[in-house]
Amino acid sequence: MKVCVVGSGGREHALAHVLARTAEVVVAPGNAGIPFSTTQPVNEIEADLFVIGPEQPLVEGLADQLRKRGKLVFGPNADGAKIEGSKSWMKEILVEAGVPTARHGVFTEKEPAMNFLENLSDLYVIKTDGLAAGKGVLVTSDLAEAKQAVSEYLSGKAFGSAGKRVVIEEGLTGPEISLLAVCDGQTAVPLAPAQDFKRLKDLDKGPNTGGMGAYSPVPFFEESMVEKIMNFAVFPTLEILKRKGIDYRGVLYCGLMLTPDGPKVLEYNARFGDPETQVVIPRLKTDLVELLAGAASGSINSDPVFSNEAAVSVVCASELYPEKSRGGYFIDGLSQAMKMKGIDIFFSGVKRTNDGLVTDGGRVLTVTGMGPTLEKARKLTYKAVSQISWPGMQKREDIASNFYLYKDE
């Protein structure tokens, strides 16, 4: 079977890496660090299965276009991808499905938004309604900062049209979990849970990013909890989508917070998470081609099985990320890191020169290490990361260091 992975980041590299175990793979457009990359337009590629990675082409209807040509596609049509493309619509789905979520309001005007903020307490969450590359979220305990963000979002200064409608939520507290479910339009099966790290700096300081690292499995999130989330969140959500005539075939990414009042859904995404994919998918023992092709054709045959090994990923980003990116720096130490047993490097923001790979984006690469325990996987990952450098490289030093904090709760 020939599989075309659509996208150009570390997520797509990881998907291609695992799909290539049992299939011929191309990645469009990919990047200079992904071996299977092609500049051929997606609509000109002949493949048996198309796997769409990023949210933007899903929201813009690429899956619809490919299906109209009779292609087998893993990824929802535009009507289903709206669950990520519009946070306000996603909240409507959660409420309709009876899924626990944060108290919230949706606003296009400044005055009612400010009034709503003033009736919240302690922690404020401001989100763009539209897509903002994973960065259109502010979490703050400072009311003045929250009000300033609302003003900048609604004016279009911060995120353009994506922010001219905002979702304001009460802040929730507790550990966050990412649970990805593979859906075939009728039912869904869960992948292994992961925990990701969204803030730029250690101890969850600094601005939100697309993700600075992740690990899987999550010791404090047991199998019984996975089953609970599927039953109270994923299955009811799919049922509502079906009632609306939406045939959802793709990933439903469930972002959860384990609050003192129980699990609550923070958001849904319509695609594989990045960097969660880089820790979840390499642990998969099941044939990924068979799993995704089955979902795309409307019939998942079995639950996925995962290795007992743990995986830890650390994202290495450019100097000015997430506000800007500064490229053109030679990436030193790659060959040493890539030779290490148990290490995979998934590339996102790179290009090739005569001297080798250089930085060419915000998040440049993800280093993933596998080991028999989280502690050993973490040590291996950071050993590999220590080999890699370029001027201004940013990384967190605390990925997976918190895995023991909640295991007895």
252 within 8 A of 202, measured Cβ to Cβ: no
CATH number for position 141: 3.30.1490.20
Give the count of domains, the chain.
4
Rounded to an integer, the average pLDDT of 252-278 is 96
211 and 225 housed in the same domain: yes
In a domain, 18, yes or no: yes
In a domain, 398, yes or no: no
Alpha carbons 315 and 304: distance in angstroms, whole number: 26
pLDDT tens digit sequence for 189-219 = 999 999 999 999 999 999 889 999 999 999 9
pLDDT tens digit sequence for 358-383 = 999 999 999 999 999 999 999 999 99
CATH number for position 213: 3.30.470.20
In a domain, 150, yes or no: yes
Domain with 42 in it: 2-77
208 and 145 housed in the same domain: no
Residue 336 has pLDDT above 90, yes or no: yes
140 and 236 housed in the same domain: no
Report the pLDDT value the prediction gives residue 162, as an integer from 0 to 100. Answer: 83
Tell me which of 239, 270, 296 is where a domain ends: 296
CATH number for position 48: 3.40.50.20
CATH number for position 360: 3.90.600.10
Percent of the chain with pLDDT over 70: 98
**Among 182-186, 330-334, 336-340, 401-405, which stretch is predicted with the lowest mean pLDDT?**
401-405
Rounded to an integer, the average pLDDT of 343-354 is 97
What is the length of the chain?
Answer: 409
Nearest Cα to Cα of residue 120 among 101, 100, 146: 146
pLDDT tens digit sequence for 317-333 = 999 999 988 899 999 99
180 and 163 housed in the same domain: no
32 and 63 housed in the same domain: yes
Rounded to an integer, the average pLDDT of 234-257 is 98
191 and 286 housed in the same domain: yes
Residue 134 has pLDDT above 90, yes or no: no
Helix (H) or strand (E) holding 267: strand 262-269
In a domain, 91, yes or no: no
Please report which confidence band the pLDDT of residue 406 belongs to, taking 50, 70 and 90 as the band edges. very low
126 and 197 housed in the same domain: no
359 within 8 A of 349, measured Cβ to Cβ: yes
Residue 109 has pLDDT above 80, yes or no: yes
pLDDT tens digit sequence for 20-69 = 999 999 999 999 999 999 999 999 999 999 999 999 999 999 999 999 99
In a domain, 66, yes or no: yes
Q: Is the peptide bond before 29 cis (omega within 30 degrees of 0)?
A: yes
Please report which confidence band the pLDDT of residue 94 belongs to, taking 50, 70 and 90 as the band edges. very high
Tell me which of 77, 95, 126 is where a domain ends: 77
In a domain, 399, yes or no: no
pLDDT tens digit sequence for 145-181 = 999 999 999 998 888 888 899 999 999 999 999 999 9
252 and 323 housed in the same domain: no
In a domain, 226, yes or no: yes
Tell me which of 125, 154, 170 is where a domain ends: 170
Task: Name the residue with tokens 């000015």.
Answer: 320
* Start-to-end C-alpha separation, the chain: 45
